[in-house]
Amino acid sequence: SDAEEEKMDETLRKFGYVTGQAFQCHSKEQQVKLEKTALNVGTNILRLFGSDRAFFFAAAFGAGASEQLDAKQCPEYVKRAEEMVRKLNVLASR
């Protein structure tokens, strides 16, 4: 349904944004690994949900990764990102 499609778009945007924020919270060395992970996620989204959604994810990741953050919030950002990764893994395995 259209409502479900809309919810999925929103979920992927939120996922990209939250993971982008969490990305900022890591050291440069960790970021190199995380960039690979983000690319893999993007590739999976592309395969499962199409190019529009892969773009939503990538654009939102970029926005989250370039936003000014309060470093004190980092544990919260990282926790939220991990929760979203778990949720999406569940979706992808259906």
* Residue among 57, 72, 59 nearest 24 (CA): 72
Q: At 1, which amino acid appears? A: S
Lowest model confidence (mean pLDDT) among 34-38, 59-63, 86-90:
86-90
- pLDDT reported for residue 13: 94
Which helix H or strand E contains 59, and what residues bound it?
Answer: helix 51-66
Q: At 73, which amino acid appears? A: Q
pTM of the predicted protein model: 0.84
- pLDDT reported for residue 59: 95
pLDDT class of 93 with cuts at 50, 70, 90:
confident
Signed CA dihedral, 24, 30, 31, 36: sign only? negative
| pLDDT tops 80 at residue 94 | no
Q: For the chain, what percent of residues have pLDDT higher than 90?
A: 66
CA–CA separation, 69 vs 90, rounded Å?
29
